[in-house]
Structure 1
Amino acid sequence: MTKINILTNKLFFISLTVVIALYTLGMNKNENNQEGKIFKNIYIKEIPIGQLTIYEAEKEIEKHYTPKDIQIKYKDKKWEIKESDINLDYNVDRALKKAYNYNRSEDKVENIKRMLSLSFNERYNIDLHASYDESKLSDIIQQINKEINVNVVQASIKIKESGEIKRTNSKEGIEVDVVRLKETIYQMIDKKNINEINLPTNIIKPKINTEDVNSINIVLGQCSTSFNDKTSRGSNIYVAAKSTGDTLIMPGETFSYNKATGARTWSNGYKSAKVIVGGKYVNGEGGGVCQVSTTIYNAALLAAMEIEEVHNHTFSSHYAPRGKDAAVSYGYTDFKFRNPYSHPIYIKNIVNNGAITSKIYGYSQDREKLYIKTEEKHVKDKINVKTYRIYLGEENNKIREELISQSEYKIK
């Protein structure tokens, strides 16, 4: 580098230092003249507060941003959430302090940079960060809930042993949309723009409505089997029939026998009776429950239910023909069927005088014309049985055939 270049650079830095020094003196003088005031070109929420005292700036901000009470209405009801109820605060004092101290930090060089920038019309804008007590707001909304919320009422049906049908109507429920209400309040507070709110609510539709229960008007299929009601086995049949009866199954829903009865234990009302385990008769809790599942199974076959799971016994049953029994074992084998209709069905079990009758009620137009057929084949010490459901037309002609199950029984 030449001596001329070195001299030129020295002169440049000296000149720059002098300019900064002079400007700094001017700034200090200007700051002294503006003692107690916010530096120029400082804004809060785009409102100019430069060259104002904190008090003056506060009054200016309050013209535009002052917390208001929140008004909520629903039909002829109105609620008012006072800003003091939820400690609503726009924190103006915090923003003013930040504005005042912007060029008064402990870093003198940084202060000079900021004053230079502001003096050359660079803006510095400060936002207002609102705050409120979420817990207090939730408590208030909960009180509104109690005034507005209406529980949904499901339609119900009860069929007596005589066949008399008792129905109750459904009713829609109403609930405050708490999430949407809180979000609306939050957005208003965040934007510092409080307006009246129309209370958001949700209509709760019943899962079982009046039309559903009104559609149940006829027996789609039924079956009866007999038993000795003076034994422990007979007692178990009563218990199982009660737990699986008076059951409404909605369109597309699946009935599970094991789910309906629960575990066949003493605590659930079952007694010890003969059951088949490993091909042998032994005493066990819940003996007799298979007769109830079998009786319902045969009613379900005639009602054209969609059989999803069914198992046969090791040996032929005395209460049902081969191919028409439904063996169950809690936790192992179940009996399940699905309601294939667009209307609900209702299981009614009647137990008296040593007989159990299962009826499946439904909509008259869903009733199918059909019968059940079994085919047996003897193979050595076993009997193989195929069970079919045959559907008939208007003139009793066969229109289709459905294989339901394939069973295998040991010959005693």
Structure 2
Amino acid sequence: MKNKKTKKIYITTLIFLIGLFSLGMSKPNQTDDGKIFKKIYIENQEVGHLTINEAKKLIYKKYPLEVIHIRYNDKNWDITPEDINLDYNIDKSIKKAYLYTRGEDKVENIKKMFNLSFKDSYIIKLHASYDESKLSKILDEICNEIDVEVVQATIKISEGSEIKTTKSKDGIEVDIINLKETIYNMIDKKNISTIELPIKIIKPNVTTESVKSINSILGQCSTSFYDKSSRGSNIHVAGKSTSDLLVMPGEIFSYNKATGARTWSNGYKSAKVIVGGKYVNGEGGGVCQVSTTIYNAALLSGMDIKEVHNHTFTSHYAPRGKDAAVSYGYTDFKFRNPYSHPIYIKNIVNNGAITTKIYGCDQDRERIYIRTQEKFNKDKINVNTYRIYLNEENKKIREELISESTYKVK
């Protein structure tokens, strides 16, 4: 066994020495003849046995720097190599090929030549470089020329129920990620070709068809108040901020989000509010009447009630079980539009009354009435609020529990 290993080492060493002898005797000036050693490649092109100039001529022809053509309908754009400082760094790669067997370490040079002569080839990749910022600037200019902003349809309903709509329009947007990726890949592969400009059609969230579907009142409610007061002023402000709102299918309406903080800077005044079961002056007193009015319209419109809270005491403007107390940052009133068509909230505030009308598609209109069930318990009143759906003969189809409220008895 030992003799076999010794013999194998001997044969390997002999082959190596013969190789060195062959390299040295057959071409004594191999490393000084001005040519690249054999079996060295730039990408998939062999440059062995070529001078530096011969290799440059071959590789520049094989991998030319070409203009990037971009096309869209009747528009054309050209990006020249100079525009983005595109370079395949061919000179550096050829120099690397030439110096591969001409290093300072002579023994290492001989090893490399031996491997190239009897074993492996050596492949050098061309590493493309370009100015990313210059390319991005050119592509931004193309985008500015092509992009068309999407137009959402709009709807406006007057206090007299006159409906006016505007049409939606698709937007056009250059698929910049796709475009850049295509250019990067072409540069990386050194294979430039014409690009069909990739674009995306941006569909509006609010379409002409959706706003045109709003043609009927689904539910409405009115409550009254004393107009000549700080509280009345707050009702006007809150009524305006929660009016003329479009709620799309599946979208959730949040009263607090619609009004924002009830602060002086947002137009609200100090008025009576209930805090800890007591009436005190606070900013935004009266806004609960607006949320309550919208709540009752939402109940009759078949909205999916997601959050509602009752007051500590029975309200003077709504029956027990039909009020919606709100406090910015703490309690909210929310509902979801359950229909496949949008709904539109319209508040009318004048002459000491606020009326909320919820408009929608007549296909979504249902026969609904609200029932409350009260139970007195010592100093409290427990109230369950139910929504009942009726068929065309006014017979009950189904019933759902909306809320469970508890009021203190004064």
TM-score, scaled to structure 2:
0.94
- Aligned positions of 1:251-290 closer than 5 A: 251-290=249-288
Larger displacement relative to structure 2 (240-249 or 310-319): 310-319
- Aligned positions of 1:22-171 closer than 5 A: 22-23=21-22, 25-26=24-25, 29-31=28-30, 35-120=33-118, 122-171=120-169
Conserved? CA contact 2:305–2:335, under 8 Å? yes
Conserved? CA contact 2:246–2:344, under 8 Å? yes
User: Is 1:191 equivalent to 2:182 in the alignment?
Assistant: no
Partner of 2:289: 291
Partner of 1:342: 340
Residues 55 and 193 of structure 1, relative CA distance in 2, 3 Å threshold: same
Partner of 2:325: 327
State the SS of the aligned residue for 2:159. coil
Conserved? CA contact 1:221–1:361, under 8 Å? yes
Larger displacement relative to structure 2 (95-104 or 108-117): 108-117
How far off is 1:48 after superposition?
2.2
Q: Percent identity at matched positions?
A: 69
Conserved? CA contact 2:268–2:283, under 8 Å? yes
How far off is 1:374 after superposition?
1.4
Partner of 1:304: 302
State the SS of the aligned residue for 2:56. helix
Conserved? CA contact 2:20–2:110, under 8 Å? no
Conserved? CA contact 2:20–2:114, under 8 Å? no
- Residue type of the alignment partner of 2:118: F
Question: What's the CA shift string for 1:365-407, capped at 9, x where partnerless?
Answer: 1001011111222222222222111111111111111111122
State the SS of the aligned residue for 1:329. coil
State the SS of the aligned residue for 1:51. coil
Partner of 1:406: 404
The 1-side partners of 2:77 and 2:11 are apart by 71
The 1-side partners of 2:98 and 2:39 are apart by 12
How far off is 1:124 after superposition?
2.0
The 1-side partners of 2:204 and 2:54 are apart by 59
How far off is 1:27 after superposition?
6.0
How far off is 1:125 after superposition?
2.2
Partner of 2:4: none
Conserved? CA contact 2:89–2:127, under 8 Å? yes
- Residue type of the alignment partner of 1:26: M
State the SS of the aligned residue for 2:261. coil
State the SS of the aligned residue for 2:223. strand
How far off is 1:147 after superposition?
0.3
Partner of 1:351: 349
How far off is 1:30 after superposition?
3.7
How far off is 1:320 after superposition?
0.9
Question: What's the CA shift string for 1:160-182, capped at 9, x where partnerless?
Answer: 11101110111111111111111
- Residue type of the alignment partner of 1:234: G
Conserved? CA contact 1:41–1:121, under 8 Å? no
Number of residue-to-residue matches in the alignment: 406
The 1-side partners of 2:63 and 2:13 are apart by 49
TM-score, scaled to structure 1:
0.94
Query: Is there any run of 5+ residues in structure 2 with no aligned partner, and where?
Result: 1-6
**Two-structure CA RMSD over aligned residues (Å):** 2.3
Conserved? CA contact 2:311–2:407, under 8 Å? yes
